[in-house]
C-alpha cells in the first residue's frame, strides 16, 4: 500500500523490527511516524524539509522523512 504525500505524490512503506517479540512490523512514511513531527500542534520541525514550520496532517509526508527513535526520554 502507498500513502498520498502532501504535494500529490505517493509515499511507500518500510519494514522494521518492533518490540512485539521480534516480529516484523510495517510502518508508513507519514508525518505521524517521522521523528521530526511534533504531534500536539501538528508541525514539521525538520529544518531540511520544504515543510519546516508548516502545519501538517499526520498522514502527510515528504522527501525528508526519518524514522522515529524508539528511545523514550
- Chain segment 21-60, per-residue pLDDT in tens: 666 666 788 999 999 999 999 999 999 999 999 999 999 9
Q: Using DSSP, how many helices (H) and how many strands (E) does the chain show?
A: 0, 6
pLDDT value of position 14: 53
- How far is it, in rounded angstroms, from Cα 34 to Cα 44? 9
- How far is it, in rounded angstroms, from Cα 61 to Cα 34? 8
Q: What is the pTM of this model?
A: 0.61
pLDDT value of position 22: 65
Amino acid at each position: 500500500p502507498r500513502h498520498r504525500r502532501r504535494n500529490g505524490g505517493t509515499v511507500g512503506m518500510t519494514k522494521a523490527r518492533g518490540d512485539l517479540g521480534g516480529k516484523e512490523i510495517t510502518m508508513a512514511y507519514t508525518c505521524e511516524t517521522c521523528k521530526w513531527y511534533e504531534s500536539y500542534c501538528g508541525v514539521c520541525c525538520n529544518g531540511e524539509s520544504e515543510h519546516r514550520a508548516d502545519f501538517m496532517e499526520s498522514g502527510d509526508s515528504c522527501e525528508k522523512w526519518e524514522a522515529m527513535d524508539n528511545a523514550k526520554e
